[in-house]
Amino acid sequence: MTNVGRIMLAQLRSIGSRNACLAAGDVPGGPWLTRGGRTYRTGAGGSTSAAVERARAARSVTSVRAYQEVGRADLFVQVIPFASDEDARAGLAELRALPRTMPRSKGLTDVGELRAAVAPEVAGTTRVEAAEQPFVLDGEHCRTLTLWCAAGRTVVVAALGGRAEAVRWPELAQVVEAQVVALA
């Protein structure tokens, strides 16, 4: 089965699951608007790692939501439950190693390399990794900041993109902290 087929099947199997990501009104900063969201069975991308297999066996459902603060920033949050704290830490390492792509956008040029960054403190998490990726959009210098965080048996991935001077690590850390609190 193709990756697209696996994802479609995973989305069908997650029907009835609620999206665990924050509602737009609960995201710190803003005001944020929801741009889309979905749920799907964890592991839909085809991973066969032991941690993902155990999450699948536990009928884990991954939640994804995209937000926009018009004229300033875009935010992406993904919540992935695992079977144990240990599996979440292993899953974080696997997710961090996946290749990342920039969405196609008119005016997007000069996409730089994804670089590891010093991770900010994120309350409620046991492991945090961070990366930054510069790009130019409509002639403006921009960047995407990404955090991969383990919080108990859940991994939260969050990415904040926008003009370089407008997106900051403390803001992204606050979003992840709010998401972790909402999961408790």
Residue range 150-178, pLDDT digits in tens: 999 999 999 999 988 889 999 999 999 99
Helix ranges (DSSP H) in the chain? 3-13, 50-57, 85-97, 169-183
Q: Binning pLDDT at 50, 70 and 90, where does residue 4 land?
A: very low
What is the predicted pLDDT for the residue at 108?
Answer: 72
Residues with Cβ within 8 Å of residue 31, at least 6 apart in sequence: 24, 25, 69
Q: What is the pLDDT of residues 121-139, one digit of tens each?
A: 999 999 999 999 998 888 8
SS3 (DSSP) at 152: coil
Alpha-carbon distance of 164 to 149, in angstroms, equals: 22
CB 46 within 8 A of CB 52: no
Alpha-carbon distance of 12 to 3, in angstroms, equals: 14
Label residue 129 left, alpha or beta by phi (over 0 means left) and psi (-120 to 50 means alpha): beta
Q: Binning pLDDT at 50, 70 and 90, where does residue 100 land?
A: low
How many other CB atoms are there within 10 angstroms of residue 10's CB atom? 20
